[in-house]
Amino acid sequence: METGDYVTIDLEDIQEEIDYWNSAVMCYVVGANPPIHVMEGFVRRIWRNMGVDKVVLRAKGVFLVRFTTMEKRDAVLKLNRPFFDSKPVVLKPWTQDMDFTKEDLRSVPIWVKLHRLGFMYWGERSLSKIVGKIGVLQKVDSATAKRDKLQFARVQVEVLVEQEFPDVIKFVNEKGMLVEVEVEYEWRPLVCSVCKIMGHDATKCKKGGNRRVWVPRQQVVPTAAAVVTPAVAVPDLTVVASVSTEVVAADGGFHTVVHSSRRRTQGAPIIPTGNPFHVLTEENTMDDGGRKDRVGDCDDGDRMGMQTGVSRRGDSPRNNG
């Protein structure tokens, strides 16, 4: 139906879509914005038998989970609150007037581990008093309730978003002795003082102007090269050289750092200078007749024979003419 310049949408026009989404819930993780594929895998795992039809992203970090029937949806809303990476998940049934923005929560449930607490204090009455310094006890972990793990007590506590979280809780036991209990928080509802968003502090805020900038590594340039004096004809010589280097100090000035380094250097190679035909040029002697005879490789007997002109056995006689 049209009224003037406007188009009027009746309930009959949207009833089909309302009926389709009536079996859906809105959900988001407090202090986190997981991507759609991660959230869908998480939802289908924890509610694998609850008839999950589809998981869709509605706004940043806000999802709609549709179930096949209204009965399945109501059954999910009656279950214990799920936790994603130790962070609470907020669930609300979908309505046609729903605002898909995350609420400014004043209190949230968190899981706490109490270390060094005697298991005689693991009863609900004792635990309620002990964690009263932090918040209100909501429930006890299954392993703690069954006394299956005695290393620590794990409890769920409702805490205020803006409060202090002590690391140690002290109480007086039945003997009048002071007992200290170490507290481990699986997650804390940190609120950024810059962007006012829960999930991180100001040091990790992207809007706080703190950015990680990659800078090139400072190169150290030596001011003097190493001077090495080789030793001639020494095969293995150890030479100590000093290298002076300028480095930038933390205060912006320069300091000269001298490093002593040991380097093993080989001696200068010995270059042969002999003639390969030295056999032909060895020391010669002159006889009385002016002839040159090789004597370098001869013994005394040969030398005498050569000087007197006497032929050795087996040699042909010399011709003196």
Whether residue 231 contacts residue 265, with contact meaning beta carbons closer than 8 Å, is answered with no
CA distance linking residue 194 with residue 190, whole number of Å: 12
Whether residue 260 contacts residue 242, with contact meaning beta carbons closer than 8 Å, is answered with yes
Indicate whether 70 and 123 sit together in one domain.
no
Least Cα distance to 188 among 276, 96, 111 occurs for 111
CA distance linking residue 303 with residue 91, whole number of Å: 121
Helix (H) and strand (E) counts for the chain? 6, 16
Q: Is residue 227 part of a domain?
A: no
Least Cα distance to 53 among 38, 43, 42 occurs for 43
Least Cα distance to 84 among 136, 130, 43, 25 occurs for 43
Helix (H) or strand (E) holding 300: helix 300-308
Q: Which of 185, 200, 215 is the last residue of a domain?
A: 185
CA distance linking residue 136 with residue 156, whole number of Å: 9
Indicate whether 138 and 172 sit together in one domain.
yes
CA distance linking residue 197 with residue 270, whole number of Å: 79
Q: Is residue 64 part of a domain?
A: yes
Question: For residue 219, what is the DSSP state?
Answer: P
Return the CATH number at 37.
3.30.70.330
Least Cα distance to 132 among 155, 152, 149 occurs for 155
Least Cα distance to 42 among 31, 29, 30 occurs for 29
Bridge partners for 264 per DSSP: 238
- Joined tokens for residue 39: 């959230």
Question: For residue 132, what is the DSSP state?
Answer: G
Indicate whether 80 and 111 sit together in one domain.
no
The domain in which residue 67 lies consists of: 18-93
Q: Is residue 299 part of a domain?
A: no
CA distance linking residue 153 with residue 169, whole number of Å: 13
Indicate whether 49 and 76 sit together in one domain.
yes
Q: Which three-class secondary structure state does DSSP give residue 50?
A: coil
Q: Which of 134, 162, 185 is the last residue of a domain?
A: 185
pTM over 0.85: no
- Which residues contact residue 193 at a Cβ distance below 8 angstroms, ignoring those fewer than 6 apart? 201, 202
CA distance linking residue 105 with residue 31, whole number of Å: 11
Each residue's pLDDT expressed in tens, for the chain with a length of 321 residues: 555 689 999 999 999 999 999 999 999 999 999 999 999 999 999 999 999 999 999 999 999 999 999 999 999 999 999 999 999 999 999 999 999 998 889 999 999 999 999 999 999 999 999 999 999 999 999 999 999 999 999 999 999 998 999 999 999 999 999 999 999 999 999 888 887 777 777 787 877 655 555 666 766 666 555 455 555 554 544 444 444 444 444 444 444 444 545 555 555 556 666 665 555 555 444 444 444 444 444 444 444 444 444 444 455 555 544
